[in-house]
Structure 1
Amino acid sequence: MDPDDIMFNFFIHEIPAMSQASGVVINTWDELDAPLLDAMSKLLPPVYTVGPLHLTARNNVPKESPVTGIGSNLLKEQDAALRWLDGRPPRSVVHVNFGSTTVMSKDHMLEFAWGLANTGYAFLWNVRPGLVKDGMVALPPDFYAAMEGRSMLSTWCPQQEVLEHEAVGVFLTHCGWNSSLEGICGGVPMVCWPFFSEQLTNCRYKCTEWGIGMEIGDDVRRTEVEAVLREAMEGKKGREMRRRVLELRESAVASARRDGRSMRNVDSLIQEVLLASNMPIKLVNK
């Protein structure tokens, strides 16, 4: 509700500009966002859904193509997390990642840490530089003692592969769109702690529209973290969340196949927008 908010003013500027475009490309698929896409199609130029983009690219781009070098990570991935997951029981690990831009207070960091430790579950937590507002918090020795042998702290990991690993049972996330799509495509229920921007909207859809998530309140408390994670991992609601996220995963996989709706939309985008306008196309692999 702040008229000086950066994202608010960004959208005030960008939304009218979208009407001047030849097409609008969105990283989603029709079954996930059908009501929104129907509404947008009445207001905007042709809308092309091409997602989930990481699956569309994986299924349809030759390995030797420069497109295979394109990614959305801002930090270098560490493969040790995948090796750590190997051999762990199915659906036994909580994956925790608050994204590349979210920050939290030292108090929140400690509450999340002890909430995770108190569940007794194994967890893989990406604790990147800059996650805490006032510098990295030193977690107490008794926390490390509590997690010894059953959990791993990493600075960053190949999240797509982690979420597709059979050992991962729940994803504790900030609800960024890339993470949301990767969670769905991994078939993993989500526990949500949105921070800003579209993350709050994504959280609402996961928790109330799609039925694949549960939310932790802004004022983080270890007791709530523990209780919500337990319900998501083992409770009745958690089982229903898993059923629904697996249904969404099936629709995502189908849409991203060579003959799926998203890939057909990519072809239409090329023919109807890029080639029709003689727009130069250049792929740069850096």
Structure 2
Amino acid sequence: MPMVNSPVSSPIREIVDPQTNARIDEGLPRKQEEFQLSPGTPSIRTTHFAWNRAGGAEAQRVFFQLLVNNNKLLELVDYVICNTFHEIESPVLSLFPKLLPVGPLLSGQTLGKRMGHFWPVDTTCVEWLDEQPANSVVYAAFGSLTVLDRRQFEELALGLELSRRPFLWVVRPDLTNEISAAWLDGFRERTMGRGRMVSWSPQQRILAHPAVACFLSHCGWNSTLEGVCNGVPFLCWPYLSDQFLNESYICNVWRIGLSLIPDEKGTVPREQIKEKLEELLGDEGMKARALMLKDAARRSVGEGGSSWKNLKSVVDAMRD
């Protein structure tokens, strides 16, 4: 029986390349720099190595060693099944022949109540989207781990307000704990009629909705694939781990999004959010490239597509 591994992130995170090892000492970067594993792959900053956000130096070393051990185990398996598709990651896939893209693998929308959500899903936001003009709404969601301090939360809210565009913003109960109810009430009053805030959303339904114009995202891999599969351009705001690699894919390799850049205090200011939204939504080429990737994703999982063939080969190997 073949041995199979299935990581949950982009396959590039699974590769500890000699170029990476040459830039670290016991898991810690020797210097700050940016590099690529090979042409066509995302640029990697040493300050954004996944383990660098694990806490202090000792915690980083432990996390790094965990990744090294995981990569040693990958040498023992016959296949590494990845939730991606050849058309968006072919340069990385060529670095490690055991990587088999079988995606995009997205959960179905017709199976009744979805399981595994952290918070109750507010489906009324879909009805709200139905009332919005086509290609008009900014959808902002940052996954289950991102945390914002008071200043950053306020700047984000005020940036959405300044944009004067309709927005749907997923505000988890634990996205921040530093904002007063009075401040939020004032924000809701000022944006009433064009803004909607929910604690959790049916994200795939949202991204597939014709009213959604762009995705303000933390760039988690699942969110990245969901945006790609629906042809939605991104405004990228990564928080940790492989999210920075995904941001580089979106902005530098696929060219379907823009990055938000924190200032010297580590805060993304409201004016930049407004300006980047205007730039993103005014770029027809960005939208056209996003739609091309949407079509490529559909073809990859269709009968005879690249991912369809890869999954069939694994199933056939298990039957033999």
TM-score (norm 2): 0.75
Q: Does 1:268 align with 2:313?
A: yes
| Residue correspondence of structure 1 range 56-71 to structure 2 within 5 A | 58=108
Aligned to 2:249: 205
**1:246 equivalent in structure 2:** 291
Q: Deviations over 1:83-105 (max 9, x none)?
A: 11013111110000001111111
- The CA distance in 2 between the partners of 1:154 and 1:200, in whole Å, is 26
1:62-211 matches, cutoff 5 A:
73-132=117-176, 134=177, 137-138=180-181, 139-211=183-255
Change (3 A) 1:259 1:78: farther
2:69 pairs, out of 6, 9, 13, with 13
The separation in 2 between residues aligned to 1:69 and 1:270, in whole angstroms, is 29
Q: 1:232-260: per-residue Cα shift (whole Å, max 9, x none)? A: 12x2xx22211111111110011122332
Q: Secondary structure at the match of 2:133?
A: coil
Once the two structures are superposed, residues 198-238 of structure 1 have per-residue CA deviations (whole angstroms, 9 ceiling, x without a partner) of 000000111111101101113210000111011112x2xx2
Does the CA contact (< 8 Å) of 1:7 and 1:197 recur in 2? no
* 2:269 aligned partner: 221
Between the aligned residues of both structures, percent identity stands at 34
Question: 2:86 matched to which residue of 1?
Answer: 30
Kindly report the root-mean-square deviation, in angstroms, between the aligned alpha carbons of the 2 structures: 2.1
Gaps of 5+ in 1: 277-286
- Give 2:14's aligned residue: none
Match of 1:230 among 254, 278, 282: 278
Over 3 Å counting, the alpha-carbon distance change for 1:258 and 1:70 in structure 2 is: farther
Structure 2: 5+ residue stretches without partners: 1-28, 30-51
**CA contact under 8 A between 2:82 and 2:102: conserved in structure 1?**
yes
Give the Å deviation of 1:190. Answer: 0.3
Distance 1:71-1:30 versus aligned 2 partners, 3 A rule: farther
Q: Please give the alpha-carbon distance, in whole angstroms, between the structure 2 residues aligned to 1:7 and 1:169.
A: 38
Contact 1:106 1:137 in 2 (8 A): no
1:109-150 deviation per Cα after TM superposition (whole angstroms, max 9, x unaligned): 000000001110000000012112x45554344422221011
Q: Distance in 1 between matches of 2:259 and 2:288?
A: 18
* In 2: Cα distance, 1:258 partner to 1:135 partner: 50
Q: Label 1:243 to 1:115 Cα distance change in 2 as closer, same or farther (>3 A).
A: same
- Name the aligned partner's letter for residue 100 of structure 2: Y
Structure 2 CA distance for partners of 1:14 and 1:72, relative to 1, 3 Å = farther
Which whole-Å CA distance do the structure 2 matches of 1:101 and 1:191 have between them?
Answer: 18
Q: Tell me: CA distance 1:221–1:9, structure 2 relative to 1, closer, same or farther (3 Å).
A: farther
